[in-house]
Amino acid sequence: MKVIDIKNITKTYTDSEVEVHAVNGVNLSFEQGEFAAIVGPSGSGKTTLLNMLGGLDTPTSGEIHIGGTNMASLKGSQLIDFRLYNIGFVFQAYNLIPVLTAKENAEFILQMQGIPKKERETRVVELLTAVGLGDRLDSRPSKLSGGQQQRVAVARALASKPKFILADEPTANLDSNSTENLLDIMEELNREEKITFIFSTHDARVVKKAHRVITLEDGKIISDEVKAIH
Amino acid sequence: MNYSKVAWRNIWRNKSRTVITVLAIVVAVFLSSIMTSMQEGTYSRMIDNVVKFYTGYLQVHHPDYWEKKTINNTFIPTDTLLQVISQTSGVTRYAERLESFTLLSVGDQTRGGALIGIDPVRENEITNLSHWIDTGAYLKPHDDGLLLTSNVAKSLGAQLGDTLVLISQGYHGASAAGLFPVKGIIRFASPQLNNLGAYIDITRAREFFSAYDRATSVVILLENQDLTNEVHSQIAQTLGSRFSVKSWNEIQPEIQQMIDADRSGGVVMKVILYLIIAFGIFGTVIMMVSERKRELGVMVAVGMRKGRLATILLLETLYLGLIGVAVGFAFSMPLIAYFVKHPIPLPSEVAKSYETFGIEAALYFSGNSIIFIRQISIVFIITLIISLYPVLKALNLKLTKSLRA
Ligand SMILES: Nc1ncnc2c1ncn2[C@@H]1O[C@H](COP(=O)(O)OP(=O)(O)OP(=O)(O)O)[C@@H](O)[C@H]1O
Ligand SMILES: [Mg+2]
C-alpha cells in the first residue's frame, strides 16, 4: 500500500537575486513499512523535500498525496491537525519542549489528539521503555543526553500512531554510540511494528542500515536503490 | 499537562529575568497603590471636613433657590418630606435651616451678614457648631439669643449680653425686624467663615422672617460619602420636581475642582510608573518569544494549532503581570491597612496651617477597594495589550523559517 505519492514536485526559492531550485522535479512513492534514507551533499534539497513530505512546506508545483489525501487541499489548522494524526517528526535537535519531562513531552501530542489520560499513560510509558528510557520518564530534556533526547523524540513521534515518521538528520548531533543505538531502535520498530521511517543523513553508517537509499543532487533524484532486506 | 502549567513553567525558565520583571511591576504597583490610597484618603477627609463643617452631603431646596437665594424661594418641610429623608437608607441625620441676609446693628454700628436659623440640637449633631463657641454659650432649643461670628462681633463692637437690632426683608415682602441678645461668640478656624454673620434658633428665624414653617434647606448627613450619588438620586426621585436636591460637590464645586486638579497631577506620576511596568513586561515578552522561535516552530510542526500556542504565550504574559500585582499588593495592602487606622501626623508647623482651615493635620489613607480594583484592571489591561505581541507572533508563525532558526 502506498503511503506517500509524490508527483513531479518542485520547490523554487525566489527571495534572493537568483532563483534556487531546491527541489526540481521529484517523483517518488513510499510503501507502508519502508525504512528509507535520503542522502546527498549539503544543499541538495533533503530538508526541503522532507519538509514538503511532512506538510511543513508547500511545493511550488506538483502534488503530494499522503494516505490518499492531496496535501494541497488542506489549509491552516486542517493541515496542522493532519500532521498531528498522520505524521511523526524527529528533527535534528531541540525536538523537545524543555519544560516538560520525557513522559510529558511524549504525552502532550496524545493530549492534543484528545486521548484519555489512562490510555496516554500506558502508551507513553510503554514506548519510552521500548526506546530504553523506562527509568528516565520524569527527567526534563536538559537532564538527558543528546541520544536520549532523540529517543524521546522517536517515542513522541510514535505515540501518535502516525502513518510514517520523518527524521531530518536525526543523528547529526550524536556520537557514534548513540547513533548506532538510535538506529537500532528505529530499525527494530520498523521490523517488529512495521513503522515507516524516512530519514535524511550524511552518515555512512546510518546509510548502511537503510533498506532503501534515495540520493539527491541539485534537487533531483540521481539514484533510488532498494537493498535486499536481510 | 494543561496549557496553564506549561505557561507557568515557561516563565520560570529564566528565573532571574522573571524575578526582575516581576519586581518592576511590584515596585510600580506598590508605589502607585500607596500614592493613590494617600490621595484618595486625603480627598475624602477633605470632603468630610467640608461636609461636616457646613454643607452636609446633600441639601434639599426649593427648586428656584439655587438660582435666586431669597427668602421667597423657601419651602415647607412637611412631616412627610422629612420622613422620606430620614427613612432613606444611608441617611444618618438631617437638619432644617432658614437663612437669609440681614442688617445687624448695635449702637451706631451696622453691617450686613447672613442670618441662619438653625435647629440647635440637630445642627450640632451635623456640624458640631457648639465646638466653635469662643465665649458665651451655645443656643438652647427655642432660645431667644443669637450667636455672632467673631469678625462680625468685632466690627460691630458687640459684646456678650448686648442686644442687636436686626432688620431684613421677610417672606413675600413682609418687614422683618427684631431684637436679639448676644448669647455667644463663634470663632471658626477659617477667618473667612468668621465674617459669616449670626445664628439664631430656627423658630425665632421663622417669626423674624414671617416665613412660618418654612426652610431654605434641609441638610442631610450620610453614613459615608460614597453613598452620596445613590442617596441623591433616590431622594430626588421620591421628592419629585417640587424640590431640588443638591450634593456637596454641586454646592461647593471648588472642592471637587481642587480634587480633580490634584488627581490629574498624580496621573503623570502614575503613567510613568505604568510605563515602567509596560516596558518591563514587553521587553521580557519579546525575549521570551524570540529565543524560542525554533521551539515554537517544532510545537506547530508536530501538531499544535497556532491558537493553542497563542494561548500558552498569552498565559505567560498574563502570569508575569498577575504575579507582579499580587506581590505588589501583598506588600502595600498591610501598610495601607495600617495607615488607614493610623494616619501619619504632620510636622507641627505644617499642622498649624492646616488647622487654620479646620482640617485635621495628618496624611490620611483610603482603604477603598476601588483603588485596588482599578490597579489590577490597569495592569491587566496593560498585559493584555502587550500579549498581543506574542499572540500575533504565534498566529503568524512561519513554520519553515522558525524551524531553520
Ligand atoms: N528559505 C530558503 N530561502 C532560500 N533558499 C533556501 C531556503 N531554504 C533552503 N534554501 C536553499 O535550497 C537548497 C536546498 O536546501 P536544503 O536545506 O533542502 O538542503 P539539504 O540537503 O537539507 O542540506 P543540508 O545537508 O546542509 O541540510 C539550498 O541551496 C538552500 O540554500
Ligand atoms: Mg538539511
Task: Provide the residue range defining the domain that includes B221.
Answer: 63-242
Whether A135 has a pLDDT exceeding 80, the answer reads yes
A44 lines ligand 1 (CB under 6 A): yes
Same domain, B200 and B286: no
A218 lines ligand 1 (CB under 6 A): no
For chain B (405 residues), the mean pLDDT of every run of 10, in chain order, is: 88 93 89 89 83 85 92 93 92 94 93 95 91 94 95 94 94 93 90 90 96 95 90 92 91 85 86 87 92 93 94 94 90 91 82 65 85 86 93 93 83
Choose which residue among B398, B400, B402 to substitute to test ligand 1 binding: the one with the highest number of ligand atoms within 8 A of its C-beta: B400
Cβ of B305 and A99 within 8 Å?
A: no
The answer to whether residue B373 sits within a structural domain is: yes
pLDDT value of residue B1: 64
pLDDT value of residue B231: 93
Same domain, B191 and B232: yes
The CA A47 to ligand 1 mean position distance, Å, reads: 7
pLDDT value of residue A215: 96
Calpha distance B268→B281 (Å, rounded): 20
Complete domains list, chain A, with CATH:
34-59+76-226 (3.40.50.300)
Choose the final residue of a domain: B214, B242, B270.
Answer: B242
Same domain, B351 and B294: yes
Overall domain count for chain B = 2
pLDDT value of residue B356: 60
Same domain, B262 and B183: no
Cβ of B301 and A108 within 8 Å?
A: no
Same domain, B185 and B263: no
pLDDT value of residue A62: 95
Residue closest to A7 by CA, chosen among A56, A52, A57: A52
Dihedral of alpha carbons B393, B399, B403, B405, sign? negative
Same domain, B149 and B262: no
pLDDT value of residue A178: 87
The answer to whether residue B152 sits within a structural domain is: yes
**Tell me, what's the ipTM?**
0.93
Calpha distance B105→A29 (Å, rounded): 117
Whether A8 has a pLDDT exceeding 80, the answer reads yes
Contact criterion met (CB below 8 Å) for A216 and A46:
yes
pLDDT value of residue A59: 95
Calpha distance B370→B367 (Å, rounded): 9
pLDDT value of residue A214: 96
Give backbone dihedrals phi and psi of B269, rounded to 5 degrees, phi first.
-60, -45
Whether A55 has a pLDDT exceeding 80, the answer reads yes
| pLDDT band of A52, cuts 50, 70, 90 | very high
The answer to whether residue B58 sits within a structural domain is: no
pLDDT value of residue A24: 93
pLDDT value of residue B270: 86
Same domain, B29 and B112: no
Choose which residue among A12, A17, A18, A47 to substitute to test ligand 1 binding: the one with the highest number of ligand atoms within 8 A of its C-beta: A47
Calpha distance A155→A96 (Å, rounded): 11
The answer to whether residue B205 sits within a structural domain is: yes
Per the rule left: phi > 0, alpha: psi between -120 and 50, beta: everything else, B142 is left
pLDDT value of residue A177: 87
Of chain A, the percentage scoring pLDDT greater than 90 comes to 72
